[in-house]
Amino acid sequence: MTEKYCYDKAPWDYNPDLTKKCLLAIAGVIQKKTRECQQERLDFSKGDSHYSYGHVARAWRIAGLKELILSGEYPSLRLLKEKGNGFEFACGMAGLKFYSASPEEMTSSMMKLSSYECGQYSLKLEGGDGEELYWRIMIDAAPISHDLLSISYVGFNIHNEVVCNYQVPLEQVPVIYSIDKTVKEAKKLSDAPFQKKTTTRKSEVI
């Protein structure tokens, strides 16, 4: 990740659609579902591994985010793509995807633009002021305990230069209440057949 920019601004300083209230609510869901998955699902004595837990935790987070989006409490949130690794949603016109890694571990493959983001870039070429940024939510957790360490909103430009790296102050994250429907959907997703995905080594990423 480039250190060209000074990260002294928040996402809403670049894009008014990314309001502080909405971004903290998203972080609250991620924080809650990470902890719930730890407490209710992680059990190495029953065959869980660190790798399989990552798959399950992602399913819990997706279920929680879908609940938040569909609740209507934040009208600017909408689903763009619901399935698997391609899960994507929008806050206003800004597309959002999340990854389990620290901002420093962000790779060019994580910055690959979705079809929605490519459409936004095409519109930007037709006119408009300022630099268009694309956004990723980076979720960093401890490697052994899986305790949540940080949630960051990272904004980058078309040249894959990181312009904004905003770490959420977790003490400001609102308390998100639990709904049985979310837990049931998360378990349904996490019980789906798991296939190990072949990843590109960092040395192969341009």
Q: What is the pLDDT of residues 84-140, one digit of tens each?
A: 568 999 999 999 999 999 999 999 999 999 999 998 877 665 544 556 899 999 999
Q: What pLDDT, on a 0 to 100 scale, did the predictor assign at position 56?
A: 84
**pTM higher than the cut 0.85:** no
Pull the structure tokens for residue 44.
Answer: 């190495």
Q: With DSSP H G I counted as helix, E B as strand and the rest as coil, what are the percentages for the chain, rounded to 5?
A: 40, 20, 40
Whether residue 155 is predicted with pLDDT greater than 50 in this model: the reply is: yes
- DSSP code, position 112: P
Distance (Å, rounded) from C-alpha 115 to C-alpha 23? 23
CA 141 to chain centre: 13
187 has pLDDT over 80: no
Question: Where is pLDDT greater, at 120 or 81?
Answer: 81
Secondary structure class of 2 (helix, strand, coil): coil
**How many whole angstroms separate alpha carbon 77 and alpha carbon 67?**
11
Contacts of 201-204 with CB under 8 Å at 24 or more apart are 202/107
- The whole-number pLDDT of residue 6 equals 59
